């Protein structure tokens, strides 16, 4: 079995969608002839954790390294003081300071630790290929440096249009970031990205698109059970922390429809809670705090349809990983997004549901339409987005890269 080093700063138990891509690739690569070794950071401060996911991750060979980035330092500080690890390391003010004092990205203090540990791991385990996923770009800086040092084949992966979403604070920061990015693209033997829009936004000509997906092992066996509420249930799983989410017009629409209710599972900004607790929504909106991934899926699987939205800054080029989890559940999707949207492109291309602007009347019409007709997703579409299928495509790219490298030597 061939061996691949997967470089990913984010890993379980962090409760973020960015964890799943590398984690699930590592889980399924052995089915396609590749033994993965995950190189990641030691535990860091984060605003939510999923320890069920960590228990599964522990079955995968991995190496955690030290780091001097603010999230790691915050974790160590709060662990010693017995405080919550998310109190400092993830606050906006600290994040801005960390961005200002680190040239590539706030995780760049991890680079020297990851590089030295990765080099030892490559030599000890006879690794044959390096795969690194960003953001943070620091993960691919590590992958690129290791590939340059060892001469190994290298595949660079990009999960979002980071240059647009995380704009560098100064001209110097942008210059350093773009220089590192150019070097990564130049050294990589192949590039993968999560959507065609990310390929275009980052100028990744010739890149392979491998979307995010869903893991059948995470899906509940009760997905066909009817929910206990009467009427039509719309559900959402994930965080609603920004100021530009379209939750408010959705709440207005639900309030005015007698037989529609809403279930939200996740972390919500304090500013939204008072709207959810409006007496006029009593009995129509159920809110559950952040839950482990599988438990959240079990709850939303009882819904008749699933809701997806996105902050305006993300809408044009990014697709949240929850969209593909929704596909695995086989439920129709209601998307509320503004302007041109990659989410809308996927909804239309694969006939996943309905996309409307975040406006009350448009949402009401969409909910009426979803109630009127039975919408079943194409089984071939559901299969296409499974993590096994996505990993099979990645393994094929690995084989192509190794074959091409061998033909050149």
How confident is the model over 205-233, as a mean pLDDT?
78
The domains of the chain are located at 2-213+387-408, 216-384
Can you give the pTM of this predicted structure?
0.89
CATH class of segment(s) 216-384: alpha beta
Q: How far apart are CA 100 and CA 103, in angstroms?
A: 7
SS3 state of residue 30 = helix
Least confident of 40-49, 255-264, 271-280, 309-318: 309-318
CA 37 to chain centre: 20
pLDDT digits (tens, 9 = 90+) for 374-383: 788 999 999 9
Contact 383, 330 (CB under 8 A): no
Pick the CATH number of 2-213+387-408 from 3.90.1150.50, 3.40.50.2000, 3.40.50.300, 3.30.1300.10: 3.40.50.2000
The better pLDDT of the pair 94, 196 is held by: 196
pLDDT for residue 210 is more than 70: yes
How confident is the model over 301-305, as a mean pLDDT?
92
pLDDT for residue 222 is more than 80: no
Residue for token digits 């690890």? 85
Q: Which of 146, 397, 201, 210 is nearest to 317 (CA)?
A: 201
Asked whether the domain spanning 216-384 has the same topology as the one spanning 2-213+387-408, the reply is yes
pLDDT digits (tens, 9 = 90+) for 304-331: 999 998 766 555 777 888 899 999 999 9
pLDDT for residue 247 is more than 90: no
The pLDDT score that the predictor gives to residue 221 is: 61
How confident is the model over 115-127, as a mean pLDDT?
97
The better pLDDT of the pair 73, 183 is held by: 183
Strand order in the sheet with 153-158: 62-65, 34-41, 2-7, 129-134, 153-158, 190-193, 208-209
């Amino acid at each position: 079995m061939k061996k691949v080093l997967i470089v990913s700063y984010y890993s379980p138990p962090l409760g973020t969608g960015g964890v799943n891509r590398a984690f699930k690739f590592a889980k399924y690569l052995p089915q396609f002839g590749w033994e993965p070794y995950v190189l990641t950071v030691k535990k860091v401060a984060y605003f939510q954790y999923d320890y069920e996911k960590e228990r599964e991750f522990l079955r995968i060979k991995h190496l955690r390294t030290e780091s001097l980035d603010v999230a790691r330092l915050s974790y160590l500080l709060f662990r010693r003081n017995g405080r919550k690890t998310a109190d400092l390391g993830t606050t906006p003010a600290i994040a801005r300071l960390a961005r200002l004092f680190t040239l590539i990205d706030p995780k760049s203090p991890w680079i020297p630790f990851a590089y030295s540990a990765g080099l030892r791991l490559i030599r000890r385990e006879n690794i044959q290929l390096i795969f690194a996923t960003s953001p943070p770009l620091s993960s691919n800086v590590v992958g690129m440096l290791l590939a340059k040092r060892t001469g190994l084949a290298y595949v660079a992966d990009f999960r979002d249009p980071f240059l647009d979403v995380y704009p560098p604070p100064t001209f110097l920061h942008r210059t350093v970031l773009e220089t590192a990015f150019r070097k990564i693209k130049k050294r990589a033997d192949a590039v993968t990205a999560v959507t065609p829009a990310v390929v275009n936004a980052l100028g990744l000509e010739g890149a392979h698109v491998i979307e995010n997906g869903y893991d059948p092992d995470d899906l509940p066996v009760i997905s066909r059970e009817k929910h206990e509420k009467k009427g039509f249930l719309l559900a959402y799983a994930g965080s609603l922390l920004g100021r530009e989410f379209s939750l408010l017009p959705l709440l207005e629409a639900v309030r005015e429809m007698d037989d529609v209710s809403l279930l939200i599972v996740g972390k919500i900004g304090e500013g939204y809670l008072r709207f959810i607790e409006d007496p006029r929504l009593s009995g129509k909106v159920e809110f559950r705090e952040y839950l482990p991934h599988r438990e959240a899926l079990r709850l939303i699987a009882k819904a008749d349809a699933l809701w997806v939205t996105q902050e305006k800054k993300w809408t044009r080029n990014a697709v949240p990983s929850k969209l593909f989890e929704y596909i695995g559940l086989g439920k129709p999707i209601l998307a509320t997004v503004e302007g041109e949207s990659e989410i809308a492109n996927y909804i239309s291309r694969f006939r996943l549901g309905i996309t409307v602007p975040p406006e009350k009347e448009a949402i009401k019409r969409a909910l009426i339409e979803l109630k009127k007709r039975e919408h079943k997703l194409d089984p071939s579409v559901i299969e296409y987005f499974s993590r096994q299928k996505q990993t099979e495509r990645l393994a094929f790219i690995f084989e192509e890269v190794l074959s091409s490298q061998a033909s050149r030597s």
